A and B are shown apart, each in its own frame.
Chain A
Amino acid sequence: GEDVEQSLFLSVREGDSSVINCTYTDSSSTYLYWYKQEPGAGLQLLTYIFSNMDMKQDQRLTVLLNKKDKHLSLRIADTQTGDSAIYFCAEIDEDDMRFGAGTRLTVKP
């Protein structure tokens, strides 16, 4: 299986919160990232968290890291239709960067 795992699909209503989950396996990962990919575009860095942190908040985005369970989540508050995209979780250590397969977020009006 993949080193980084994500659910493939998430659907929410506009205005609700979205929570995208990710599990990883490398305990030596130094940084964990969330990228957003809109159709036909490259990856946009949304936010990242250093491995010695538990939480990071950036406007509508909240990242939670449970290092014991190797679980990372991205919460998007007040989700908008413009948030519809694929969200990739990625982990980095000194030698490599590994992406999850991506979660396709669909926001319904």
Chain B
Amino acid sequence: DTEVTQTPKHLVMGMTNKKSLKCEQHMGHRAMYWYKQKAKKPPELMFVYSYEKLSINESVPSRFSPECPNSSLLNLHLHALQPEDSALYLCASSQGGTTNEKLFFGSGTQLSVL
């Protein structure tokens, strides 16, 4: 299994809603990532979990809350988002615990905030 699986593929939410994005990998990778990507822009790193511990938070607003229940799962909890948070949210994983390795990306969740 060489896939990173993300659900849901699409999500529409209001600014007062609470929702969660889910990510799963079964490659035994030790680092998992959340990226945000706007159209025609490069992926922007949000969070990194290394060996199930949060190792990097790129000064992301608290309305985004990551969670790593175990080494295969990564969640991103969303609350009180703004329309400008609409983007493609990508989960990725890498084999070791370091962040300078090849990343395997999921297909993303296209989020629209109304």
Partners in one complex: no
A interface, CB within 8 angstroms of B: none
